[in-house]
């Protein structure tokens, strides 16, 4: 099988990448940057996110599997102590788990598309400089006027990431959903928004509009763009998918137990 290793830049991950390349070569697998079928990440969850964004234009041609060298991750099925087990499994059957990416489109005052970006975990509008006011619509229907630091839109896989830290619900891995969660919403006599995570149908389109997004960022996974001159942001599940391969049967609840 043609594969490529995307590893974190620390000594342990670099050494494990070298060791794994040698072990897989002995089994007849080829490490190549040209058209790899499988991307093996060695590092943490962030390493997997970096790899996915590196290959975002050819996600239909590659599959991902992760080995962790730090604390146990959500995207990693093996520890760096389990390279031999990984090499044995690599020759066997695997299941494919496919996850739609979250697409965000940002438009300027002239309705021109200014940015189109993708996220696996979440896409969030956050303003730590001034109160962000924005009109929120779902499927073009007005929901509320939000005031506060921002709003986070996550998918099932991102429900255990940033979303969880701001009080969002964890979504079971058999369900697909978009979740809208407030980031430090302001609620008092004059201003009121939902103040509760809203779990939506995966076909939902969420729209944020504001006269000013000055000081706000769109943060998508570990990446960000400045929302200067943006007037409207549409967020929805994309037709782009990321495919993970899994050789073992670690259940979702086992992952939750071991992580949290
Ligand atoms: P990172 O790689 O250091 O990740 C930050 C933490 O989030 C790590 O502990 C990582 O294991 C965990 N994480 C990432 N994706 C996860 C998932 N789907 N389920 C459970 N835990 C997950 O930082 P980075 O390289 O900037 O990665 C960006 C991601 O980190 C973002 O997508 C965001 O969800 C997450 N993050 C979380 C917080 C928070 O919880 N307060 C803060 C910043 C970033």
Q: Rounded to the nearest 5°, which phi and psi values hold at 151?
A: -135, 145
Distance 45 CA to ligand 1 centre (A): 7
Q: Assess if residue 260 is contained within a domain.
A: no
79 and 118 in a single domain? The answer is: no
What is the C-alpha to C-alpha distance for residues 238 and 77, in angstroms, rounded to an integer?
26
Q: Assess if residue 187 is contained within a domain.
A: yes
What is the C-alpha to C-alpha distance for residues 94 and 87, in angstroms, rounded to an integer?
13
Q: Assess if residue 124 is contained within a domain.
A: yes
- Report which protein residue has its CA nearest ligand 1's atom 32: 221
136 and 173 in a single domain? The answer is: yes
DSSP conformation letters of 10-41: SHHHHHHHHHHHHHHHHTT-EE-SSS-SEEEE
Distance 233 CA to ligand 1 centre (A): 23
- Report which protein residue has its CA nearest ligand 1's atom 31: 221
81 and 106 in a single domain? The answer is: no
Each residue of 17-44: pLDDT tens digit? 999 999 999 999 999 998 899 999 999 9
Give me the mean pLDDT over the 232-236 stretch. Answer: 98
Q: Is the pLDDT of residue 1 over 80?
A: yes
The parent domain of residue 26 ranges over 2-92
110 and 232 in a single domain? The answer is: yes
Per the prediction, the chain carries an average pLDDT of: 95
Would you state the pLDDT for residue 72? 66
Around ligand 1, the residues with Cβ closer than 6 Å are 44-46, 49, 73-74, 121-122, 157-158, 160-162, 165, 221-222
Q: What atom in ligand 1 is closest to the CA of residue 71?
A: 11
Q: Is the pLDDT of residue 238 over 90?
A: yes
Q: Rounded to the nearest 5°, which phi and psi values hold at 65?
A: -145, 145
Each residue of 6-17: pLDDT tens digit? 999 999 999 999
116 and 76 in a single domain? The answer is: no
Confidence of residue 250 (pLDDT cuts 50, 70, 90): confident
Give the position of tokens 């087990």.
85
Distance 211 CA to ligand 1 centre (A): 30
Each residue of 163-196: pLDDT tens digit? 999 999 999 999 999 999 999 999 988 888 999 9
Cβ-Cβ contacts under 8 Å for 205 (sequence gap 6 or more): 138, 139, 140, 234, 235, 236
The number of folded domains in the chain is 2
Each residue of 49-100: pLDDT tens digit? 999 999 999 999 999 999 999 776 788 889 999 999 999 999 999 999 999 9
Q: Which residues are designated catalytic?
A: 45
Considering only residues 247 and 116, tell me which one the structure prediction assigns the higher pLDDT: 116
């Amino acid at each position: 099988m043609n594969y490529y290793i995307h590893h974190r830049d620390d000594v342990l991950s670099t050494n494990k990448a070298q060791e794994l390349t040698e072990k897989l070569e002995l089994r007849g697998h080829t490490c190549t940057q040209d058209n790899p079928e499988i991307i093996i990440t060695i590092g943490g969850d962030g390493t997997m996110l970096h790899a996915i964004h590196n290959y975002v234009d050819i996600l239909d041609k590659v599959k991902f599997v992760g080995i962790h060298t730090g604390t146990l991750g959500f995207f990693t099925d093996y520890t760096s102590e389990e390279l031999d087990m990984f090499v044995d499994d690599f020759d066997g059957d695997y299941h494919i788990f496919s996850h739609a990416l979250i697409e965000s489109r940002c438009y300027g005052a002239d309705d021109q598309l200014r940015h189109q970006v993708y996220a696996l975990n979440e896409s969030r509008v956050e303003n730590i400089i001034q109160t962000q006011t924005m009109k929120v619509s779902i499927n073009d229907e007005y929901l509320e006027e939000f005031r506060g630091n921002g709003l986070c839109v996550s998918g099932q896989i991102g429900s255990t990431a940033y979303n969880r830290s701001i009080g969002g619900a964890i979504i079971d891995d058999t369900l697909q959903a978009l979740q809208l969660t407030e980031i430090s919403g302001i609620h008092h006599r004059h201003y009121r928004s939902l103040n509760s995570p809203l779990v939506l149908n995966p076909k939902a389109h969420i729209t944020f509009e504001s006269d000013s997004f000055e000081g706000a960022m769109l943060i998508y996974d570990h990446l960000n763009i400045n929302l200067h001159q943006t007037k409207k942001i549409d967020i929805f599940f994309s037709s782009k998918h990321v495919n993970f391969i899994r050789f073992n049967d670690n259940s979702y609840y086992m992952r939750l137990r071991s992580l949290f």
